[in-house]
Amino acid sequence: MKLKTDIPFLIDFDGVIRLGKKPADDTKGFFQFISDNKIPACILSNSTLRNGNDIKKFLSDHNIRLDFPALTCADASLNYVKERYKKVAVFASDSTKEMFNEFLTDENPEAVIVGDMADKWTYEIMNRIFRFIHNGADFISMQKNKFWSPDDENLFLDAGAFIAAIEYATGKEAKLVGKPSAIFYHSGLKALGFPDNSEFNMIGDDLETDIEGAQRLGGKGILIYTGKTEYPLNPASEIKPDFETRNLTEVTKLFS
């Protein structure tokens, strides 16, 4: 079975395109293959520490041109807020928080938007989020990743761990915007001009957020062993990718 070239191709960023502080060695050839075959592609990153423009700049700084859209769950969360709220409290990195400037408030927010803050998490911040939500604010999570590897060597707690604690304390489940939420996948399809119910392929290094998330919506999940999932796949894994690859060059060989 081969992958179709005429349906949307959604691409994870960290662990697939960005490995540690550098792009994967075969990124240029991978992007050239996408361009030559006119594959409708979009990068979908669960990062809340950067936006789509930051992704393009990262690639440009390494002399790699990106000719298709790039979205992070910070971009998707901003669009979600624009459609629903006038005033929100945002807990994220400074650069991400600035994206929401026209909506920011410190008093009685309609919703609380939470992203990753790396090592900036404190008990005081957790309490502020808890109080806003306990007092009635909606709870919006940019992503719920359990952990990540920013240096491609060590694992660090991601936003999902802190969000889970606040969900437990408030008894209110956060509305998820990032993967594996349908909201984010549909944002990528929309950026490419496709309806929500379209066929699509998704490549990623995370079994839950990338592979299972895509499969739940009827997409094909391509697992790549350049990020957080170790090769070989544990036979006991309940999540079974449609395809498994060792690098981006192998991915291109999956297309007809």
Do the Cβ atoms of 122 and 91 come closer than 8 Å? no
Query: What contacts 199, CB < 8 A, 6 or more positions away?
Result: 4, 7, 8, 218, 219
| Shared-domain flag, residues 141 and 96 | yes
Does the pLDDT of residue 158 top 90, yes or no? no
Q: What percent of the chain has pLDDT over 70?
A: 99
Judge residue 233's burial from the number of C-beta atoms within 10 Å of its C-beta, 0-12 exposed, 13-18 middle, 19 or more buried: middle
Lowest mean pLDDT of 7-11, 66-70, 159-163, name the range: 159-163
Q: For residue 234, is it left (φ>0), alpha (ψ between -120 and 50) or beta?
A: beta
The total domain count for the chain is: 2
Model pLDDT, residue 152: 65
Does the pLDDT of residue 153 top 90, yes or no? no
Mean local confidence (pLDDT), 64-88: 97
Average pLDDT along the chain: 95
- The residue from 121, 142, 176 where one domain ends is 176
H-run or E-run covering 23: strand 22-23
Does the pLDDT of residue 22 top 80, yes or no? yes
Model pLDDT, residue 148: 75
Mean local confidence (pLDDT), 229-240: 96
Is residue 4 domain-resident? no
229 token code pair: 């999932």
Does the pLDDT of residue 175 top 80, yes or no? yes
Domain span holding position 244 = 9-73+179-252
Does the pLDDT of residue 145 top 90, yes or no? no
Is residue 194 domain-resident? yes
| Shared-domain flag, residues 23 and 46 | yes
Mean local confidence (pLDDT), 48-62: 95
Is residue 3 domain-resident? no
Does this model's pTM top 0.85? My answer is yes
Model pLDDT, residue 143: 93
| Shared-domain flag, residues 124 and 104 | yes
| Shared-domain flag, residues 67 and 188 | yes
| Shared-domain flag, residues 149 and 22 | no
Task: Assign residue 34 the CATH number of its domain.
Answer: 3.40.50.1000
| Shared-domain flag, residues 183 and 142 | no
With H, G, I as helix, E, B as strand and everything else as coil, classify residue 192.
Answer: coil
Does the pLDDT of residue 147 top 90, yes or no? no
Q: How many CB atoms lie within 10 A of CB 96?
A: 27
